[in-house]
Structure 1
Amino acid sequence: MKKQVTISVSRRGFVAGALAGSLAAPSVLRAQSAAIKVGLIHPVTGFVAYNGQQGRLGGTMAIEDINKAGGIKSMGGAKLEALLGDSQSKVEVGVAEVEKMNEQGVAAYIGCFQSPVTIAATQAAAKYNTPFLVDVAASDVIVNRGLKNTFRLMPGFGVCVDDGIANLGNINKAAGSPAKTAVIVHESGEFGTGTAKLLASKLPSIGIEAKEVIAHDNPTRNFDNIALRIRSIAPDIVMMSNYQNEYMLLARTLFQQKVNVAGFYSILGGGFNYKFVKEMPDVSQYMMDVNHWFNPKSEKAQALKKRVEAGGALFTFEVYLGYSTAMLLADSLERAGSADKAKLTDAIASSTFKAELMPYGPTKFVNGQNQGAKPAVMQSIKGDIEVIAPEEFASAKAVFPKPKF
């Protein structure tokens, strides 16, 4: 219960105070603007807990920066308040978080990292017409259902596959076309299965045959049999689409079993990041990935990278996508001048937000998907991650075919 305080004031003092209070009313109202509640839903426990924690870090850092800069100025300096949810890597828990936050008066959601959880959570939020901004989740099903409340700043697996195939064709051709065959290894969920299906259908367009497509469960603790299978097929390229732990374990197993190929070229390899490169420099050397990445030529991206690393974390894609998505929400709130769900949804839909941290073009949403979003192609070279495509953002040239173990 709030403690009551009684103050004795003379009649003259009361009149003077009342007059001063009336003159100051606009600033008082601005100072007391209600906080805008934003639901951050990520898997901070479970088998992809690291990725979820990184996504939460990016979102909360952005909210902190927005509030320090004066909040939403068109709403009297209203501050953002983060409601933190843990999906636990479970669809039903992600939906339960949406329901709980709706009762708490959330104005918008950001999440959820995993495609199955995001599909269900966005559907749940649609019942209340609450805007849902997807920071990380690759399945194109998310934006192909006609939901008016769902927006994704990042590219989905369709764009990533198209760009990845085109760039692999260019890299292979420049090297004299040594790669003729590939094996695709993917996690068995919506993200991995959808990506693998697209890859298998489009590889022939660049003269590469998919010899086999191999699925694995989440989590998987041993890849020995899959590595032996790949070695027996002897493809020129191994393509991987899976989450952090499985990506790193598969890469290490292939290295230990000396599976020599012209290249490891993953599409949305969840474990291709600074953690992987720093912990496994020999394993990661010359591996390539088509994925979300920051613009290495952006001063703001480099400054945020330093801040994140100074705090003891790594600058993974979950961080800067979470950060950028929260900034997109703040920009939309500023233009809407309101947390009204319909007005906010319209403001997001018409956004031209400049995602300065990313190698993107102008933001333009069509059916909830940002048409300006593009992935980058990266390669691990000498203990660091270099951008090798697109050319305007490149920091190094591709090493292909890679030297044998």
Structure 2
Amino acid sequence: MTLFMKPVSRRGALKGGIAAAAAIAAPSVLRAAEPPAVKVGILQPVTGALAMDGEFGRTGAELAIADINAAGGIKALGGAKIEMVFGDARSNPEAGVQEVERMQSEGVAAIVGGFASPICLAATQAAARYDLPYIVDVGVSDQIIQRGLKNTFRFAPGFAICTQAAIQNLVRINEAAGKPAKTIALVHEDGLFGSGLAKLMQTELPKHGFEIAETIAIPTPSRDLSNVALRLRSLNPDLVIPSTYYGETVLLARTMQQQRVRPKAVYAVLNGAASNMRFVKEFPEAAENIMDVNHWQDPRNPKNAELQKRVVDAGKQWNYNTPLNYSCVMLLADAIERAGSADRAKLIDSIAASTYDKHLMPYGPTKFVGGQNQGAAPVSTQVQKATIRVVYPEAFSDAKPIFPVRG
């Protein structure tokens, strides 16, 4: 039996040969050019009461990931790109845990963020069940790093470090001015953050000659702080130290202004508004001269000015959360490079051994002990002429403190 085949044209043969060659070559070319991405979970509260801070943090993480990828990705993994898996903690711990579970199912190598202490406490615990590395951005409660969780690392300073720095800075600033401040009223939010900080301040401040006139707890959110302002006017303390979130600080400052409560200074600690340019721009008179001991970027580092310009040009707001989260993601990328792997166990060991020093914060080189970065420290800031300045320590300052504000 003779079989007849349809003649194949020269053009058809050429097409077929090219297609076959492409089919054979394409997989290997793609594999060489595009190694598997490293998935990184970014957890921030971008809805609910903490949405503003969550957006600051998300912006910082997004910029860091963009810069890492633009610079060629993770070199040790053949140029693998970082792929963000974002989770909205919705300003509550339960939602944070739900997002950790989702990130786990999507195969992230590590998680960065959380912001609020309750969210960070719950999210790091959930991540620990899977030996999932977690870098906490803010989360100041020291419980976060006191539970012996090997997966948990806090890049920024916590309660103990911030309180110690706040007291030391206050003592030095007060002494330099001739010790005008003696009595103090503490105003704190009634959650984990504010209550813990107030307790530490109550214990430590009297050791340095200060008298605690009263400690006043307020709920988050608060709608009216008139009674608090009236109480402060009655007490007439030299200093008011608020440890509150953004909305409550703004409300307190404006109510004090309206009711003519005029302490010698407002010296905030880890405050939600006193180190936030939105407060300064929207309520300049209420914000002027308020001091804070808080996270802040290193004003001497030109990278911060460059990054801030990118944020503003994109129509977004800048706050310390942005360079802080930028630095956290960069620290993680450095750990992946050194580990040469996205394996979770190797990453935990690599983060623990980090000496990362290219961050944007006023810190020394990174050194984790028990999950806490020993190189981290807050700075004292003050609103001066509608701009937030670093006033202490001098090594990072770009202005001198105005203290007391009122005689």
Q: Which TM-score tier does this pair reach, normalised by the shorter chain? A: over 0.9
Residues 215-259 of structure 1: CA deviation (Å, up to 9, x unaligned)? 111111111111111111111000011111111111111111111
Distance 1:8 1:203, change over 3 A: farther
Residues 156-204 of structure 1: CA deviation (Å, up to 9, x unaligned)? 1111110110010011111111111100011111111111111111111
Pick from 111, 118, 143: which aligns with 2:145? 143
1:186 aligns with 2:188: yes
1:210 aligns with 2:209: no
1:278 aligns with 2:278: no
Pick from 300, 304, 307: which aligns with 2:307? 304
The answer as to whether partners of 2:265 and 2:406 remain within 8 angstroms in 1 is: no
Counterpart amino acid of 1:225?
Answer: N
In structure 1, what is the equivalent of residue 80 of structure 2? 78
In structure 2, what is the equivalent of residue 125 of structure 1? 127
Structure 1 residue 206 displacement after superposition: 2.2
Structure 1 residue 313 displacement after superposition: 2.0
1:322 aligns with 2:325: yes
* Structure 2 unmatched ranges of 5 or more: 1-11
Partner-residue secondary structure (3-state), 2:46: coil
How many residues are matched? 395
In structure 1, what is the equivalent of residue 266 of structure 2? 264
Partner-residue secondary structure (3-state), 2:395: helix
Q: Percent identity?
A: 51
In structure 2, what is the equivalent of residue 343 of structure 1? 346
Structure 1 residue 207 displacement after superposition: 1.3
In structure 2, what is the equivalent of residue 174 of structure 1? 176
Structure 1 residue 367 displacement after superposition: 0.8
Structure 1 residue 10 displacement after superposition: 8.2
Partner-residue secondary structure (3-state), 1:391: coil
Distance 1:236 1:71, change over 3 A: same
Residues 89-116 of structure 1: CA deviation (Å, up to 9, x unaligned)? 1111110111111111111111211101
RMSD: 1.9
In structure 1, what is the equivalent of residue 292 of structure 2? 289
Structure 1 residue ranges, 4+ long, deviating more than 3 angstroms after superposition? 7-19
Structure 1 residue 403 displacement after superposition: 3.1
Counterpart amino acid of 1:32?
Answer: E
Counterpart amino acid of 1:104?
Answer: E
Counterparts of residues 366-405 of structure 1 (less than 5 Å): 366-403=369-406
Counterpart amino acid of 2:291?
Answer: M
Structure 1 residue 12 displacement after superposition: 7.4
Distance 1:256 1:131, change over 3 A: same
The answer as to whether partners of 2:222 and 2:248 remain within 8 angstroms in 1 is: yes
Deviates further, 122-131 or 210-219: 210-219
Residues 20-45 of structure 1: CA deviation (Å, up to 9, x unaligned)? x49x94x6434231111111111111
The answer as to whether partners of 2:185 and 2:232 remain within 8 angstroms in 1 is: yes
Name the CA distance, whole Å, in 2 between partners of 1:264 and 1:399.
11
In structure 2, what is the equivalent of residue 38 of structure 1? 40
Counterpart amino acid of 1:326?
Answer: V
In structure 1, what is the equivalent of residue 5 of structure 2? none
Name the CA distance, whole Å, in 2 between partners of 1:310 and 1:246.
29
Determine which structure has more spread, i.e. the larger CA radius of gyration: 2
In structure 2, what is the equivalent of residue 64 of structure 1? 66
Structure 1 residue 18 displacement after superposition: 9.0
